[in-house]
Structure 1
Amino acid sequence: MKSIRLDLDNQEGMVLIAKALSIDARIEIIRLLYKNSYNINEIAEQLKLPQSSAATHVKVLEEAGLIETELVPASRGSMKICKLSLESIEFLMKTEREEDSEVIHMPIGNYVDYYVEPTCGIVSEKGYIDEEDEPRCFYNPYRTTAKLLWFGKGYVEYRFSNHLLVSRQLKGMEVSMELCSEDHEYNMDYPSDITLWVNGIEAGTWTCPSDFGGRRGKLNPSWWPDKNTQYGILKTWIFKPEGTFIDEEQVNKLPIDAYHLEANGFISVRLGIKEDAKHIGGINLFGSSFGDYHQDIRMKLIF
């Protein structure tokens, strides 16, 4: 399970969670799922609720990201298994502006360099961009409209302007995006070692456990097939004077100054799979209209 932090700039997220926790029955469902996973009939039985009420409460909790559901085969059709997806939530009663920060949003199709091997592809909110499993599709000029891209091996590289660093003292930087592994269709047991480089310097590797599917991503357009990858996990690489972190876990002791963020006219961010990685499981990179999080690649500069 994961933890999340929300500040006052994430008003939509705060409202969703507050709504989800505003009814006693939903808190009881969370308490129940903390110990085990249950289907909706079992939840209704244990909490003495009508099945329709239990299903409604589960839907609200899922929309808020507090629980996850998965359809599994049953004796008659399928049933929805519910499990807790968050271990903790931290509410910060301040905004990014109060922290003196600037945020740059990079569309996932605005990469400046790439090398990919199949399986691979790009889609916009409306449909496929070029032919699937053909690396040349990453050259298609419509790639700038991409909302989901994937590849089995390789990398994509982005360049962020560093003009904000000219007259201000940088204290920290965060780079966040929604990611998962990449297998044909989806595979819940398919780890991948995903690495981030900043200005050519390795900033840490995160091992994603899955190419996630089994339930629809909250933002996915209706035409996207259920059998395909559906959602990822929001991961944040954090750069501080005392070292580099992925979420709250320190991955190396390189301070933010070691990445030479002012050396060029841009900050290079490369995302990929190392050739000698233990788990070469590819990458799905989600944009603002796919997956569970309404964002592209997000760079936050803290002054």
Structure 2
Amino acid sequence: MKNLTLNMDNALSVCKAIANEHRMNILKILSHGPHNVNELSEKLGLPFSTTAVNVKKLEEVGLITTELVPGRGTQKINSKNFDRIVIDLFEGDIEFEKNTISIEMPVGEFIDVHAEPSCGLVGEHDYIGMQDDPRSFYETDRHQAQLLFFKNGYVEYRFPNRVPYGARPSEIEFSAELCSEAPYFKLDWPSDITLWVNQTDVGTWTSPGDFGGERGFNTPKWWGIHNTQFGLLKTWKINREGTFLDGVNISDITISDLAITENPYISLRFGIKEDAVNVGGINLFGKEFGNYRQAIVMNLRYENQK
């Protein structure tokens, strides 16, 4: 799946181009394969001249490409360039972002795990090891995992600590796509998923269910629709005011409680507590599964000492 990512400065022309029913229908038709203008005109039920004008508009903003190909003579064939358009509505503060360390951790790069069935690792093209066998989490190609799941247990990662010596961490943020783990999928299947940072419990999110029945945007076609397809993107943020889950304060744990500068790495653990009310497991998604093209992302902000 090929994405077009836009910011607020360059999104307007694309938005204007697709704010038209005929052009949207052209993109739908081209999703099934290349067409020339005559073919598009027939399928749309529009005059050739009207179709050509709309094709030109889409071509001008780069959403489609027109190529000359041999056939009965030479003909112009139109192809779609992108599957998805993403608009970034965040206008970053340059000075603020300059002191931000961003690291994306593949879901298969864990350093510790305890997984109880149902459990498994899934790569982009096939299972890694055997389904429902905890030994699969120790396979040498586990680093290629794009989805991991277990009914009970935990998985732990270690991010490199790149805070400059003498600087002071001010905020740390983790985001990941995850959901509960049920046999096949079950929309009503709550699970209490807890996050630990440097062995400190920073809060629990109760996932409402295990989502399937419709394919995730990035989920490979070989992965059956009856299996888990996507999760929800959740963000934990810890700063001097406390811990926040998707912007809502959930804990009094602050960044000073995490002892970041005292450790050579930053530990992150997702798991189900032994005393959890809802033991509904975890699905954790990589870039090639689910609805969000990301793995586990850490953003760590710091201040230079004056």
TM-score, length basis structure 1: 0.72
- Distance of 1:109 and 1:247 partners within structure 2: 25
Q: Does structure 1 residue 250 correspond to structure 2 residue 249? A: yes
Name 2:182's counterpart in structure 1. Answer: 183
How far did 1:220 drift? 0.9
How far did 1:265 drift? 1.1
Name 1:219's counterpart in structure 2. Answer: 218
Identical amino acids, percent of aligned pairs: 44
Name 2:291's counterpart in structure 1. Answer: 292
Specify whether residues 187 and 287 from structure 1 end up closer, same or farther in structure 2 by C-alpha distance, changes over 3 A only: same
Map of 1:9-20 to 2, 5 A cutoff? 12=5
Whether the aligned pair in 1 keeps the contact of 2:177 and 2:285 (CA below 8 Å) is yes
- Distance of 2:166 and 2:295 partners within structure 1: 27
Name 1:265's counterpart in structure 2. Answer: 264
- Distance of 1:274 and 1:167 partners within structure 2: 36
- Gaps of at least 5 residues in structure 2 are 22-43, 45-82
Specify whether residues 135 and 99 from structure 1 end up closer, same or farther in structure 2 by C-alpha distance, changes over 3 A only: same
- Gaps of at least 5 residues in structure 1 are 1-9, 26-51, 53-61, 66-88
Whether the aligned pair in 2 keeps the contact of 1:114 and 1:157 (CA below 8 Å) is yes
Name 1:94's counterpart in structure 2. Answer: 92
Map of 1:49-198 to 2, 5 A cutoff? 91-94=89-92, 98-100=96-98, 101-198=100-197
Once superposed, which parts of structure 1, at least 4 consecutive aligned residues long, lie more than 6 Å away? 15-18
How far did 1:214 drift? 1.5
Specify whether residues 13 and 142 from structure 1 end up closer, same or farther in structure 2 by C-alpha distance, changes over 3 A only: farther
Answer with 1 or 2: which has the greater Rg.
Answer: 2
- Distance of 2:101 and 2:170 partners within structure 1: 12
- Distance of 1:184 and 1:155 partners within structure 2: 18
Whether the aligned pair in 2 keeps the contact of 1:63 and 1:218 (CA below 8 Å) is no
- Distance of 1:131 and 1:179 partners within structure 2: 21
How far did 1:246 drift? 0.7
Specify whether residues 180 and 17 from structure 1 end up closer, same or farther in structure 2 by C-alpha distance, changes over 3 A only: farther
How far did 1:300 drift? 0.3
Name 2:19's counterpart in structure 1. Answer: 23
Whether the aligned pair in 2 keeps the contact of 1:109 and 1:147 (CA below 8 Å) is yes
- In the alignment, residue 259 of structure 2 is paired with which amino acid? H
